[in-house]
Structures are given as structure tokens and as C-alpha cells.
């Protein structure tokens, strides 16, 4: 295994110069830095992370704070983690996943005061989130994946829920659907101010009224049983529904199952759009789900990159960025029968 002395010998510099290149504690000319990095690459030299941390007073560990329950991580959530982990690795950092929820403010304060982490990315953000203030008070650098109500001075990346919902509604309206139901996250999530649930609710009401249509939203527990119950409630409120939008991956298969039990064929009788989801989940259904595909990997990567710029003391404006989901049409949406009669179009494969 190559050592720092081996790198110094190959690059024809002193060991201290190699150390300065690794730690950044002294300025080094670009030519010298290039020679040292080339020697490291040739020798496949792996610097000791603990030694670098002692030299720079950094652990070179960043945290991804993400509440989890017994269901673990699905494909869509995993994309956030893999994007964040890849960005940290490229920069020579380790990413640690910590399940700190909105109610765990005291645990978060203890974590912040231990100084094991150089900074954190905070996920599953609520509109009013006590974790943000706790991190700021502890002086721990933070970037949000999500947004609070007041984002003044807060670095964040988030899904553009307004544009995402507008495009989803426009897609089914363009297919002739007028009786459209939105299945959201649970009533408890809405009451707690969970950002995606609140923002998509507001965006759905705005988009529907903009088309002159009545908005019908049904909250659903995050489970297949919750999806079945939500679909039953939706049909009770809107028995003539012809389209369902859902932002609840754990409920979507219950929705599809209940439609099948009621002999409502997807997409001929009811079109279904899954919002903020991954292609892997969309392809599990039959027919495959038309989806507003989540930019999870990109959001995870951008958040970590923004955090590392903070740690490096890079100047510039506070990073605030929204990314919309991308509409990917598969087999779960088609024109209504009336629209088909008017245009001669039909469901996929017809």
C-alpha cells in the first residue's frame, strides 16, 4: 500500500508539500498540486481520512437527516440517498444516514453538539420545522431538501410542486378528463405541515380552479390499505370520477387494487397518474404508471454540493433551487371515451 513518502518521492516534492495538498492548510502552486495529484493517482494512494480530519479540524463526514419508519426506504427515497452519497464520495467525504424526525429536536441538538458531522442535509421538511432552528443555533452548516414557510437565508433544493401538479392536471385535462381526484398523503401529514403534502394540495386546488373544475382531494395513510380506503372515499365523493392523481407511493397499489375490485379498468375507465415517483415503481404496475418522475438523485447531489461549498467557505448567494418532476407517459392514462369519440384517439395499444 502506497504511503505519503512514496507520493512525495514520485512527485519529487517534500512530504510536507504532499500534506499541504491534502489538507489545504497552505497555498500550493497549481503546477505542484498537479504533480502531487498525478503521483497519488499513479500509486493509487488513499489518504487516511482520520489524519486529514485532524489536520483540517474536520471529520469529513456529512449527515443526511431523513426520518424513517418500519417500511424502510423505497426506490424513490433511495434515489435521494444515492445522489447525495455519490456527491459526497467524489469530494472525499463520507455520508451518514441518520433517522432524525421532526419530533426529535432534542436528539438533533445532541448530535450537533458532538461535532461528529461537518454539516448536514435535512430531508422531509415541514413548513414549520424546529430542526432548522436547532441546527442554526448549534452553528452546524445545513442545506434543506425541502422548504420551510420562510426560506430567508436558508439554502435549499426542492421539487417544484406547483409546476409538477400543473403539468399533471394539464395532462389529464388534455385527455378530456373533468372529474379528477387527488390522493395526497395522510391527514396527519397535512396537519403537521409536511411540505410536499401542503404544497401539492394548494397547487392542485389552484390548477383545478384554473381549468374551471371542482378540486376533490382525499388524504390517504401511507399503505396499500390506505390507498384502498382513499379510493373508496373518492368514489363516494365523486362517483363519476375518470382520473386519479396520487402522490403516495405506498398507497398507489391499493388504489389500483380497489379499482380492479370495482371493475373499473385502468386506463379505459379511470386514468391514473403517480406523482413524485421513480421509474422503478411506475414499472411495477400493470399497466405501467404514467408518472411525474421525481428528480431525487439530482436533488440529493445538488444539496450535498451546496453543503460542501458552505464548508469550503465559497462565497456567493444562498443556494435556493426548485426542480420540477418530469411527465413520463406510460399505459395508465388515455383519453376519455367522449374525447376519443371527438378526436378518434384511443388508449395505448388500441
Q: What is the pLDDT averaged over residues 264-284?
A: 96
From 22, 19, 26, select the one nearest 5 (Cα to Cα).
19
CATH H-level, domain 4-56: superfamily: lambda repressor-like DNA-binding domains (1.10.260.40)
Question: What nine digits make up the cell of 179?
Answer: 372529474
Statement: 161-293+328-343 belongs to CATH 1.20.1730.10: no
101 contact partners, CB below 8 Å, separation of at least 6: 67, 124
61-159+296-324 and 161-293+328-343: identical CATH topology: yes
Displacement of CA 88 from its chain's centroid (Å)? 16
Give per-residue pLDDT as tens, 131-179.
Answer: 898 888 888 899 999 999 999 999 999 999 999 999 999 999 999 999 9
The class that CATH gives domain 61-159+296-324 is: alpha beta
What is the enclosing helix (H) or strand (E) of 246? strand 243-246
Domain extent listing, the chain: 4-56, 61-159+296-324, 161-293+328-343
Give per-residue pLDDT as tens, 86-113.
Answer: 999 988 899 998 887 666 777 777 777 7
**CA atoms within 13 A of residue 341's CA, in its CB half-sphere:** 3
The reported pTM is: 0.80
Degrees, nearest 5: CA angle 213-216-217: 140
Amino acid at each position: 500500500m502506497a504511503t505519503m513518502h512514496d507520493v512525495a518521492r514520485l512527485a519529487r516534492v517534500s512530504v510536507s508539500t504532499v500534506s499541504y495538498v491534502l489538507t489545504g492548510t497552505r497555498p500550493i502552486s497549481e503546477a505542484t498540486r498537479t504533480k502531487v495529484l498525478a503521483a497519488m493517482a499513479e500509486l493509487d494512494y488513499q489518504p487516511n481520512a482520520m489524519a486529514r480530519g485532524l489536520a483540517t479540524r474536520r471529520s469529513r463526514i456529512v449527515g443526511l437527516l431523513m426520518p424513517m419508519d418500519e417500511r424502510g426506504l423505497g426506490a424513490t427515497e433511495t434515489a435521494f440517498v444515492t445522489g447525495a452519497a455519490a456527491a459526497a464520495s467524489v469530494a472525499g467525504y463520507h455520508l451518514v444516514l441518520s433517522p432524525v424526525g421532526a419530533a426529535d429536536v432534542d436528539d438533533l441538538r445532541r448530535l450537533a453538539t458532538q461535532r461528529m458531522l461537518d454539516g448536514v442535509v435535512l430531508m422531509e421538511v415541514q413548513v414549520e420545522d424546529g430542526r432548522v432552528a436547532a441546527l442554526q443555533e448549534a452553528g452546524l452548516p445545513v442545506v434543506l431538501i425541502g422548504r420551510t414557510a420562510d426560506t430567508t437565508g436558508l439554502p435549499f433544493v426542492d421539487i417544484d410542486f406547483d409546476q409538477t401538479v400543473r403539468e399533471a392536471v394539464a395532462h389529464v385535462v388534455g385527455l378530456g378528463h373533468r372529474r379528477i381526484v387527488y390522493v395526497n398523503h395522510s391527514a396527519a401529514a397535512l396537519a403537521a405541515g409536511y411540505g410536499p403534502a401542503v404544497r401539492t394540495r394548494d397547487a392542485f386546488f389552484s390548477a383545478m380552479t384554473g381549468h374551471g373544475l371542482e378540486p376533490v382531494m382525499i388524504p390517504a395513510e401511507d399503505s396499500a390499505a390506505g390507498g384502498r380506503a382513499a379510493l373508496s372515499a373518492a368514489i363516494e365523493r365523486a362517483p363519476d370520477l375518470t382520473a386519479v392523481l396520487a402522490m403516495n407511493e405506498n398507497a398507489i397499489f391499493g388504489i389500483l387494487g380497489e379499482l380492479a375490485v370495482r371493475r373499473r379498468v385502468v386506463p379505459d375507465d379511470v386514468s391514473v397518474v403517480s406523482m413524485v415517483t421513480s421509474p422503478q415503481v411506475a414499472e411495477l404496475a400493470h399497466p405501467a404508471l404514467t408518472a411525474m418522475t421525481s428528480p431525487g438523485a439530482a436533488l440529493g447531489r445538488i444539496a450535498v454540493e451546496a453543503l460542501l461549498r458552505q464548508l469550503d467557505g465559497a462565497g456567493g448567494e444562498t443556494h435556493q433551487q426548485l426542480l420540477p418532476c418530469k411527465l413520463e407517459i406510460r399505459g395508465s392514462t388515455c383519453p376519455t371515451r367522449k374525447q376519443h369519440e371527438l378526436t378518434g384517439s384511443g388508449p395505448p395499444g388500441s
